[in-house]
Structure 1
Amino acid sequence: MGAEITFSGMDELLRRLEQLGEQSETVKKKALEEGAEVIRAEIESNAKRSNINHEHMADGIITNIKDDVAVIGPGAEFYYSHFLEFGTSKMAAQPFMGPSFERKKEEAKEKMAEVIRRELGL
């Protein structure tokens, strides 16, 4: 399951960013990192934790950024997160990633716009 943030109403800001040339890639990456952090932190705060003393899935929520795309979620060692998010034939879904994204996507968008404005000196 993938989810996306679509930028609308930011045409002028993005146009000005593109005028920076090569520097625009650095600014875009910084904006993406800071926006992704908003969602990563929300997923972490909503990931289940047991009372057993070991590493929890919440401790392993990571962000991978490549080619203007941020992938946020538990690391590979927490493969069972898929079962929690979507359920199984024997267990109801207990989603925490999708709802976290939905709650914070607008805040992440605003954070990204803030970074772009700051970097453009606006």
Structure 2
Amino acid sequence: MAVEVKFEGMDELIKAVETLGQKGSRIENEALKEAGEYLAEEMKKEAPVRSGELRDSIKCSNVKTKQGQKYVEVGPDETTNWRAKFIEFGTVKMRANPFMSRAYEKNKEQVREIIAQKLREGLGL
């Protein structure tokens, strides 16, 4: 005895799922970027200011993917990155001022909330 099952509308369903996948990826990118921009602004508030060069170099990268995981990098650009390491971790002659870690720790819950809210909005939840 054989049972024959016929699905109607599967082509439309598959197309809708594929569209949601593309839309979901775009929404995910927007959420990561917005959260990264927020963290960059908060990091600028924590950065020590002498000339302002370090503070002004803090940026959020575009969305990157590594081993299937999407992420953004937030921090000083290449021109001041070497100096930021000394400030963040200290040296033999200088006490550490972990402004990047401090900014992250103070704002990690808000960053998570920004990502969650953006995803909810984008997916209509």
TM-score (norm 1): 0.77
**Residue 105 (1) aligns with residue 103 (2):** no
Task: Quote the Cα distance in structure 2 between the aligned partners of 1:91 and 1:21.
Answer: 49
Query: Structure 1: which 5+ runs fail to align?
Result: 1-17
Task: Quote the Cα distance in structure 2 between the aligned partners of 1:103 and 1:20.
Answer: 34
Aligned residue for 1:25? 25
For these two proteins, the number of residue pairs brought into alignment is 102
Task: Quote the Cα distance in structure 1 between the aligned partners of 2:26 and 2:40.
Answer: 21
Task: Quote the Cα distance in structure 1 between the aligned partners of 2:72 and 2:113.
Answer: 16
Give the % identical residues: 33
Q: Which runs of 4+ in 1 moved over 2 A?
A: none
Q: Deviations over 1:61-96 (max 9, x none)?
A: 011131111111001111200000001111110110
Aligned residue for 2:78? 76
**Residue 92 (1) aligns with residue 90 (2):** no
Aligned residue for 2:40? 40
Q: Which has the larger radius of gyration?
A: 2
Aligned residue for 1:7? none
**Residue 62 (1) aligns with residue 59 (2):** yes
Secondary structure of the residue aligned to 1:24 is helix
**How far is 1:19 from its partner?**
8.7
Task: Quote the Cα distance in structure 2 between the aligned partners of 1:58 and 1:48.
Answer: 7
Q: Which has the higher contact order (CA 8 A, sep 6+)?
A: 1
Secondary structure of the residue aligned to 1:117 is helix
